[in-house]
């Protein structure tokens, strides 16, 4: 959202947060597909012109299905993130950190190898990162121990690039950098993804010509709690936050 607002200030954005049913990271492919379709249909009812799947687990499990089902362009976060990692890496040794669902799907590995067939990919599921970030255990000794444990295979593989394959992980970026030491680049998909969205809108001549877009937010659990956390992450006021109506929650 932050990357999109910066890159495409003229666009109207509807943000849908399924806070009643998160986290998706450990749930099955079938469930994540069902949730993703339900969430997409809510947005379609608001006449969106393009759908961004701004969640790595939902992209990993459900992007193919959404692309099959729906006519409007659908953009996930895995493709852009993988492209950026392949650009940045010199040695071709790339680590991917993500939820269980994202890692087990193999979606990042596949996207990286499609782009750079000689790449060596080390994939690590880091299921405790999301709850640690949500509890603001950002600079806690327990978090450092868990970072150290998860990154052990990454250090052993001597990668030069780490791809943060979950929206929460950039908040732990400094800890990850400290554990890895110098010489390792850390990439996330947000800005590359916003770039891809800009290209797609231009290509399809779908760009807005107004000067300033409007923003609306929907959450499936308590919208006030969502607004407080959201403003903290987004760094801007969120004016139009509403509870998503039944049955879309």
Q: Tokens 């791809």 — which residue? A: 163
The edge-to-edge listing of strands for the beta sheet with 13-17 is: 13-17, 215-219, 240-243
The nearer residue to its own copies, 137 or 191, going by C-beta atoms, is 137
Question: What is the nearest approach in angstroms of its own copies to the Cβ of residue 29?
Answer: 9
The nearer residue to its own copies, 125 or 194, going by C-beta atoms, is 125
Question: How many chain residues touch its own copies (CB under 8 A)?
Answer: 29
Q: Is residue 247 within the footprint of its own copies (CB under 8 A)?
A: yes
Region from 4-12, 64-72, 76-84, 128-136 binding its own copies, contact rule CB under 8 A: 128-136
CB-based burial of residue 71 (10 Å sphere; 0-12 exposed, 13-18 middle, 19+ buried)? exposed
Of 238, 186, 175, 224, nearest in space to 2 by CA: 238
Does 166 participate in catalysis according to the annotation?
A: yes
The nearer residue to its own copies, 33 or 159, going by C-beta atoms, is 33
Within positions 205 to 224, which residues make up the interface with its own copies, using CB under 8 A? 220-222
Cα separations (Å) of 51 from 13, 41, 47, 74, 146? 10, 10, 10, 5, 34
The nearer residue to its own copies, 203 or 222, going by C-beta atoms, is 222
Region from 15-23, 85-93, 104-112, 182-190 binding its own copies, contact rule CB under 8 A: 15-23
The nearer residue to its own copies, 9 or 131, going by C-beta atoms, is 131
Dihedral sign computed on CA atoms, order 47, 50, 51, 54: negative
Does 126 participate in catalysis according to the annotation?
A: no
Q: Map residue 212 onto helix, strand or coil.
A: coil
d(CA 180, CA 125): 17
Q: Which of 26, 91, 158, 245 forms a contact with its own copies (CB under 8 A)?
A: 26
Q: Which of 132, 159, 175, 190 forms a contact with its own copies (CB under 8 A)?
A: 132
Q: Is residue 158 within the footprint of its own copies (CB under 8 A)?
A: no
What x-and-dash track marks residues 134-153 binding its own copies by CB under 8 A?
A: xx-x--xxxx-xx--x----
What beta strand segments (E) does the chain contain? Answer: 13-17, 51-53, 74-76, 93-98, 120-125, 161-165, 185-188, 215-219, 240-243
Question: What is the nearest approach in angstroms of its own copies to the Cβ of residue 222?
Answer: 4
Cα separations (Å) of 30 from 36, 51, 61, 213? 10, 20, 8, 35
**Residue 198 C-beta-side C-alpha neighbours within 13 Å:** 14
Region from 24-32, 40-48, 177-185, 195-203 binding its own copies, contact rule CB under 8 A: 24-32
Residues annotated as catalytic are 55, 166
Residues that bind its own copies (CB under 8 A): 19-21, 26-28, 30-31, 35, 127-128, 131-132, 134-135, 137, 140-143, 145-146, 149, 220-222, 225, 247, 249
């Amino acid at each position: 959202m932050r990357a999109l607002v910066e890159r495409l200030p003229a666009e109207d954005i509807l943000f849908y947060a399924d806070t009643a049913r998160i986290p998706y990271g450990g749930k099955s492919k079938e469930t994540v597909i069902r949730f993703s379709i339900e969430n997409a249909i809510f947005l379609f009812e608001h006449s969106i012109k393009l759908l961004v799947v701004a969640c790595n687990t939902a992209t990993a499990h459900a992007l193919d299905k959404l692309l099959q089902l729906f006519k409007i362009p659908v953009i996930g976060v895995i493709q852009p993130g993988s492209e950026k990692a392949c650009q940045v890496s010199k040695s071709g040794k790339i680590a991917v950190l993500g939820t269980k669902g994202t890692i087990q799907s193999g979606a990042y590995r596949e996207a990286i190898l499609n782009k750079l067939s000689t790449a060596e990919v080390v994939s690590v599921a880091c299921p405790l990162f999301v709850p640690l970030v949500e509890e603001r255990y950002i600079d806690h000794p327990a978090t450092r121990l868990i970072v150290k444990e998860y990154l052990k295979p990454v250090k052993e593989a001597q990668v030069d690039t780490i791809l943060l394959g979950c929206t929460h992980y950039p908040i732990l970026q400094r800890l990850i950098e400290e554990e890895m030491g110098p010489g390792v680049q850390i990439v996330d998909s947000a800005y590359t993804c916003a770039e891809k969205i800009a290209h797609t809108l231009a290509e399809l001549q779908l760009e807005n010509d107004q000067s300033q877009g409007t923003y609306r937010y929907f959450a499936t659990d308590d919208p006030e709690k969502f607004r407080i956390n959201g403003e903290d992450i987004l760094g801007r006021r969120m004016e139009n936050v509403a509870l998503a109506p039944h049955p879309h929650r």
